[in-house]
Amino acid sequence: MPISPRLKEIFQNAKSVCVLTGAGISAESGVPTFRGGGNAAVWKGMPFDQISSARMVRENLNEVWEWFDYRRGVLKDCEPNPAHFALAEWQNRFADFTLVTQNVDGLHHRAGSREVLELHGNINRSSCTNCEKRFQMNAEDVPHKPEVCDRCEARVRPDVVLFGEMLPMDAFLKAEQKSRECDLFFVVGTSALVYPAAGLAEIAKFSGARLVEINPEETPMTGFCDEVLRGKAGEVLPLF
């Protein structure tokens, strides 16, 4: 997938760059995507947006933990891939660089990205269902621990934003502000179906940014982009 000389020049002269990543950037690390390959992630017959929902936390927290402990088990053997490392390099190439992710796998941090706006939380953190105290888990803590909060003894839950839940406002508002200010916005490895995250690309475009999509497949965002690099993130990003 060659990068046009025009895009290369825009990239080299960009002052403010914003990147939104989704599950596709971790696909080459062996992390299953949610909707890739034509089938949506399911857990014991429940579609992804049912098992990963605020309602399931209320109705069956044990099942939610089983789903997240399973995913954390898969993640234990996954390493960052060239796409994550390329973006970690980009943070030193621009005066103003913002990395926003929908992913909860923590692979951007492990690749060396310093400030990552995690719009949907992090699978290796849990939070108290009562007092919201947060706990950092190691990848080896499968099944998860602690089970209950050491401050108020209520149950803990994955510190991940589930369907029907508010995003962390500080992260979202900063991502929104950077989307307005940037001159170049990359959408990498996302089906662009989940809002308000996907809306950041629209905000960038309406604010005058050049919009670039990197994805082996077409998405609802494709027609809206100025440039489409039809390829894998791990192969395309290192070419810049």
Catalytic residues: 120
Q: What residues numbered 60-99 form the site for ligand BV8, per CB under 6 A? A: none
Structure tokens at 152: 């108020």
Task: Tell me the Cα Rg of the chain.
Answer: 18
Dihedral sign, Cα of residue 226, residue 228, residue 233, residue 237: negative
Which of 84, 120, 144, 205 touches ligand BV8 (CB under 6 A)?
A: 120
- Point out which span in 101-109, 110-118, 142-150, 200-208 binds ligand BV8 (CB under 6 A): 101-109
Dihedral sign, Cα of residue 129, residue 130, residue 134, residue 136: negative
Q: Which is nearer to ligand BV8, 41 or 149 (CB)?
A: 41
3-state secondary structure at position 202: helix
Q: How far is the CB of 57 from ligand BV8 (least distance, A)?
A: 11
> What is the pattern of x (binds ligand BV8, CB under 6 A) and - over residues 162-191?
xxxxxx----x----------------xxx
Q: By CB under 6 A, is residue 196 in contact with ligand BV8?
A: yes
Closest to 162 in 3D by CA, of 73, 77, 43:
43
Question: Where does 35-193 have alpha helices with state H?
Answer: 48-51, 54-59, 61-75, 82-90, 107-110, 169-181
Structure tokens at 201: 């690309």
Q: How far is the CB of 6 from ligand BV8 (least distance, A)?
A: 22
Q: By CB under 6 A, is residue 195 in contact with ligand BV8?
A: yes
**Phi-psi bin for 208: left (phi > 0), alpha (psi -120 to 50), beta?**
left
Q: By CB under 6 A, is residue 102 in contact with ligand BV8?
A: yes
Residue numbers at the binding site for ligand BV8 (CB under 6 A): 22-24, 27-28, 33-36, 49, 52, 102-104, 120, 160-167, 172, 189-191, 193-196, 214-217, 219, 232-234
